[in-house]
Structure 1
Amino acid sequence: MANNTVRHINIIGHQNPDTDSICSALAYAWLKNRGSLTGLYEARRAGHVNRETRFVLQHFGVEPPRLCTDVSPQIKDIDIRKQAGIDGEMSLRAAWNLMRDVEIDTLCIVDSDNELQGLITIKDIADANMDLFDTAVLAAANTRCTNLLETLEAELVVGSADAHIDSGNICIGTSPEIMEELVKPGDLVLVSNRYETQMCAIDCGAQAIVVCCGSAVPRTIVARAQEKGCAVLATPYDTYAAARLISTAAPVRHFMRTKELLKFSVNTPIEDAKKVMASVRHRYFPILDENGKYCGVVSRRNLLNLHRKQVILVDHNERTQAVDGLEQADILEIIDHHRIGSLETTGPVYFRNVPVGCTATILYQMYGEQGLTPSREIAGLLLSAILSDTLVFRSPTSTPQDEAAAKALAALAGEDIQSYAEQMFEAGADLTGRTAEDVFSSDFKAFSRGDVKFGVGQSTYMTDKSRAAAEALVQPFLPEASRREGLPLIFYMFTDMKTQSTDLMFYGHNAEEIIRDAFHVEPEGNIAKLPGVVSRKKQLIPPLLAALQARQ
């Protein structure tokens, strides 16, 4: 698994989701999780919640699903390496030992809140070690005394472990004659077991001496060191080994890389990460979690072990209506009531397609089959979806099953169908503060047949006044919508529930002729009046497809 958290299976409807798309995703997640909206299965939405759906969710006290517009694999979908961050005070020696022990060549430095501070590689440590003439490195790095004790496996005879090396150079005391010229106040001096060199180093003002070869430190030296404020460390290493090791006590923060760090988020798409990795020679890259905290590293090799996102589609089965990246995800199930479109799957899936007026009706049947009664809230969502999709059973797509399901759900939800439907549709038709784009995209779907691509939107209204206002708002937006959606033909249905008719607005090449061929009506301006037409799925799409195919 990519991480320790449960990988959710996303249940998701089509782009520009309507009430059925969102409510069915929520209701199916509740069914799959056996009576909970939190669990392995998570409802998601592929676009903004329209006003009708927002009213429904607020009415029944249900939070809208999280947005998901792309199911392409991300860093979170691979096995990242959970290498813990290190403290910036860790010595180079300890960092090198850790790299060797866990077989990694990059370590990330973090603060106490797990914020990424920098990184250090095996090359950085090698470069630091090869800088043989940098005798001031411990002072420059303000090295802790504890780092010296650990690196040299030394005992602190005199001084404080909390002290820092903040001045002077590293030098080796060989004889008093040479040391008087060599050792300056504040230096760190490595000495052998010779009493004279030890005393001379202290008298020259060294801030610390390191007694090598495991030699005992005489009491007089201890007393003199205490008097002069000189720390004394005793190491079992000989002078040569101690000289080789001592500079590796410097903390990694002094050598770490901090500028222009190449790091990824758990949400970074794999394709983006691959491009970055191909452009540089680094092997490991830090990963930040959802909160921007360090959580591990990733290498090119990790990208090979990919866990594709798992999705269940509701209320659509056409590629053009689905979220991006679907071809890189595993589709587990499809629950739908539309025509079977252009979607391909990599393997066999559970596909339930029933000719009813609403996906929610299919879900209500599945609840019954599994012996589970929906809660009041879920029953309300299912009821709302059926009333919305069937236009309160007026749509030709509506079936007796839809009506029976709605009545049973209304009883569970404690709602009167007619009065509740009126509130719901009025909320959806309210244009207060809405933009043309908002109205247009509230229920818009793209379709394709052969080389022909077109889009059809639909809004439903209870009054002539609200419908006319919406038409005036949307009409100037259609050319822009055609450009944004990349569709040469756009049709938009303004459906009047009470008169059971639709004003069909259109834009695009030969759109007027196509409408004449499909519906045998004469458009007025850029609107065709279609009495008796209320269903996009059953009454509009089939004649449009027939007219388009006849022109090919």
Structure 2
Amino acid sequence: MDKLVFVTGHKNPDTDSICSAIAYAELKKKLGVNAVPKRLGDINRETEFVLKHFGVEIPEHLFTVKTQVADLNVDQAFPVSPDISIKTAWHLMKKNNIKTIPVIDDHERLLGIVTLSDITNNYMDALDNNTIASTRTTLRNIAETLNATLICGSQEDFETTGKVVVAAVEPDDLHSFVEPGDIVITGNRLDIQLKALEYGTTCLILTCGGDPSQELIEEARSRNIVLLTTPIDTYTTVRLVNQSIPVGAVMTSQNLISFNIDDFIDDIQDKMLKTRYRSYPIVDDNNRIQGFISRYHLISQRKKNVILVDHNEKSQTVNGIEEAEILEIIDHHRLGDIQTASPIFLRNEPVGSTSTIVANMFFEMGIRPSKSIAGILCSAILSDTLKFKSPTSTYVDRMTAEKLAEIAGIDDMDKYANQMFKEGSSLQGKTLKEIFYQDFKDYTFGKYRIGIGQVFTMDKEKISEMEDSLIAFMKQLCAERGYHLLMLFVTDILDQTSEVLFSGEEKELISLAFNVDLGENSVCLPGIVSRKKQVVPLISVAVDK
């Protein structure tokens, strides 16, 4: 169950679109698929009532299925704190075969990055012998890098402001090289060791496993001087000591180019090609490191997997569908214009509701839907078939709904449907835009772009009061979006009649399709309740004529 699959209905979703997506995702999960239902818009009041009635959560909104950084097989990040030594960072890179590591703060937020080149360049450029002081290297880093033992002193005593000196001269000549605050590296000569303390060294490092005398220890303690002893020889100690500087001193933090885990591949490609760094850090919305991406990762992108229910037209589906992998389509509408790269499972049946198909897939596979799933499927069938009064309704819809009602505990489907329609048809508090788009679909018929919305209501008087404003809204929409024709079917659930509000240059298509005389911006169509079966086919024929 590793591969995530999104199950989604159409834009401006109705009850059938939402409920069939939820139910089909549940069925796929029972069959071992990691399926998640999604929605492509706000749910309407009817759907909200149904989901609340049966205790089902509203699916999350899916805005796009375009390929994102999260869909790439990116490199793992091995974050470090800014105070670790470059030696430790180097070993971490070698161990994990990586060339870049992120540096993070105590809250795991990205501070900068350190590359192999940063370490080698800074190490090779370390010609000054006061690097330890300038980078504020900690005593802990020096001890770890040199595998040294702390004999006396502490970090509070380690206040180096000077340089690193190798005491390889006679004691009397040491004053020419050692100054207060210096770090002195020496062997086992007590006279040189004591002279170094006398001249103000802040840290004395004994090499070759030197065993400090009691006199030296007491003198160092009296002067609050750090005394270390390392088993490493003097030459190696000198080579290693600069590897104790913190990665925070060599990291790149200015003008750092990073990408968000949710960024789209299209948006980052140009920046990657222009800058051409080896790799780029990936962060989340809180600037926490998620990994690294390189140009070669762009060829490893994983397409998002989707199953479409209750639609099969590109204009109605999720944005970025051309970049996704469509696995299945479950629908009861005409075949649209969606194309797939390979053969898929397609189930398209001339029934009144996609939920009828989904419910019967449960039964065919011997899986009994839960009470809540049966309830929302039954509700969707009642909604899409207008309580079996729609011309799209079939005997299969009724039989399936009755079987689901029994499982869901719906004793009186007629009473429940009326309650659902009443809740869903209320226009109280809705804006013009919300009313127009609550069940709206885009269609392409040849060269014509046509939008058809539908509102089911028991309150036609409320719509009548808003008619002028709705028509003005549609006229403006035609001009802004380039529609040839916009129609809003206001369907009375009780008397099975639709009043059509329309706008656009091709309004004569309505007259041709339904053989009626048009008013200025509206016409009454008795018996017309189904957009799928009574409207879209006739408009298509009118366009062909």
> Which TM-score applies when normalising by structure 2?
0.94
How far residue 136 of structure 1 moved from its aligned partner, in angstroms, is: 3.4
Aligned counterpart for 2:120 among listed residues 121, 126, 146: 126
Of 86, 95, 101, the match for 1:101 = 95
- Following the alignment from structure 1 to structure 2, what is the Cα–Cα distance between the partners of residues 312 and 334? 6
Contact 1:190 1:211 in 2 (8 A): yes
Q: For residues 117 and 332 of structure 1, do their structure 2 counterparts lie closer, same or farther at Cα, with a shift above 3 Å needed?
A: same
Q: 1:252 deviation in Å?
A: 1.0
CA distance in structure 2 between the aligned counterparts of 1:280 and 1:116, rounded to whole angstroms: 20
CA distance in 1, matches of 2:466, 2:415: 23
> Aligned pair 1:394/2:389, yes or no?
yes
2:251 match: 256
Q: CA deviation at 1:534?
A: 0.7
Q: How many angstroms apart in 2 are the aligned matches of 1:363 and 1:340?
A: 18
The one-letter code matched in structure 1 to 2:11 is: Q
Partners of 1:100 and 1:485 lie apart in 2 by 57
Structure 2 segments unaligned to the other structure (5+ residues): none
CA distance in 1, matches of 2:423, 2:465: 15
Q: Is the 8 A contact 2:432 2:469 kept in 1?
A: yes
After superposition, residues 363-374 of structure 1 pair within 5 angstroms as: 363-374=358-369
For structure 1, list consecutive stretches of 5 or more residues without a partner in the other structure.
none
Alpha-carbon shift at residue 24 of structure 1 (Å):
0.3
The answer for the alignment partner of 1:476 in structure 2 is 472
1:420 to 416, 419, 426: 416
Offset of residue 156 of structure 1 = 2.3
Change (3 A) 1:229 1:483: farther
Report if aligned partners of 1:431, 1:470 keep a CA contact under 8 Å in 2. no
Of the three residues 45, 48, 52, the one matched with 2:42 is 48
Say if 1:144 and 1:162, in contact at 8 Å, map to a contact too: no
Q: CA 1:271–1:22 in 2, change beyond 3 Å: closer, same or farther?
A: same
Match of 2:380 in 1: 385
Do the aligned partners of 2:329 and 2:346 also contact (CA within 8 Å) in 1? yes
Q: What is the Cα deviation at residue 408 of structure 1?
A: 2.1
Cα separation, 1, equivalents of 2:446 and 2:351: 26
1:430 corresponds in structure 2 to 426
The whole-number CA distance in structure 2 between the counterparts of 1:528 and 1:403 is: 32
Greater Cα offset, 61-70 or 465-474: 465-474
Within the candidate set 7, 12, 16, 1:16 is matched to 12
Match of 1:447 among 426, 443, 447: 443
Q: CA deviation at 1:317?
A: 0.8
Match of 1:186 in 2: 181
Q: Per-residue deviation at 1:65?
A: 0.6
The superposition leaves residues 92-112 of structure 1 with CA deviations (integer Å, 9 ceiling, x where unpaired) of 121122223322221101234
Report what 1:403 is aligned to: 398
Amino acid at match of 1:142: R
Kindly indicate whether residue 158 of structure 2 is the aligned counterpart of residue 158 of structure 1. no
C-alpha displacement at 1:484, in angstroms? Answer: 5.8
Q: Is this contact kept in 1: 2:332–2:351, CA < 8 A?
A: yes
Structure 1 position 485, deviation (Å): 4.9
CA distance change for structure 1 residues 398 and 164 in 2, over 3 Å: closer, same or farther? farther
Shift of 1:168: 2.9
2:493 to 485, 489, 497: 497
Q: AA paired with 1:381? A: I
**Correspondences of 1:30-429 after superposition (within 5 Å):** 30-34=26-30, 40-160=34-154, 165=159, 167-175=161-169, 176-289=171-284, 292-415=287-410, 416-429=412-425
Judge conservation of contact 1:210–1:234 (CA < 8 Å) in 2.
yes
Residues 95, 252 of structure 1: 8 Å contact kept: yes
Q: One-letter code of the match for 1:432?
A: Q
1:506-529 deviations in Å (ceiling 9; x for gaps): 222222x22122112122221121
Task: Assess, with a 3 A threshold, how the Cα gap between structure 1 residues 450 and 163 changes in structure 2: closer, same or farther.
Answer: farther
Is the alpha carbon distance of 1:165 and 1:289 closer, same or farther for their aligned partners in structure 2, counting shifts above 3 Å?
same
Match of 1:508 in 2: 504
Q: Give the direction of change, closer, same or farther, for the CA distance of 1:281–1:196 in structure 2 (3 Å limit).
A: farther
Please tell me the residue identity of whatever aligns with 2:351. V
CA gap 1:317/1:363 in 2 versus in 1, 3 angstroms: same
* SS in structure 2 at match of 1:232: strand
- Label 1:423 to 1:179 Cα distance change in 2 as closer, same or farther (>3 A): farther
Q: Tell which deviates more after alignment, 206-215 or 19-28.
A: 206-215
Query: Which among 24, 27, 33 is matched to residue 23 of structure 2?
Result: 27
Q: Distance in 2 between matches of 1:455 and 1:164?
A: 76
CA contact (8 A) 1:439 1:470 kept: no
Contact 1:142-1:165 within 8 A present in 2 as well? no
Aligned residues: 543
In the aligned structure 2, how far is the partner of 1:147 from the partner of 1:483?
69
- The yes-or-no answer on 1:523 pairing with 2:523 is no
Determine helix, strand or coil for the equivalent of 2:30.
coil
**Deviations 1:69-112, CA, capped at 9 Å, x for gaps:** 21112222221222321122210121122223322221101234
Contact 2:65 2:318 in 1 (8 A): yes
After TM superposition, give the deviation of residue 141 of structure 1 in Å.
3.0
Aligned 8 A contact 2:272 2:295 in 1: yes
| Deviation string, structure 1 residues 137-163 (Cα, Å, up to 9, x no partner) | 323333221211222232323333787
| CA RMSD between the two structures | 2.3
How much has 1:472 moved relative to structure 2? 4.6
Q: Does the residue aligned with 1:73 lie in a helix, a strand or coil?
A: coil
TM-score (norm 1): 0.92
After superposition, the C-alpha distances for 1:443-472 in whole angstroms (9 at most, x for unaligned) are: 111111333222111111113223324545
Q: 2:452 aligns with which of 434, 443, 456?
A: 456
Give 1:148's aligned amino acid.
I
Which deviates the most, 131-140 or 181-190? 131-140
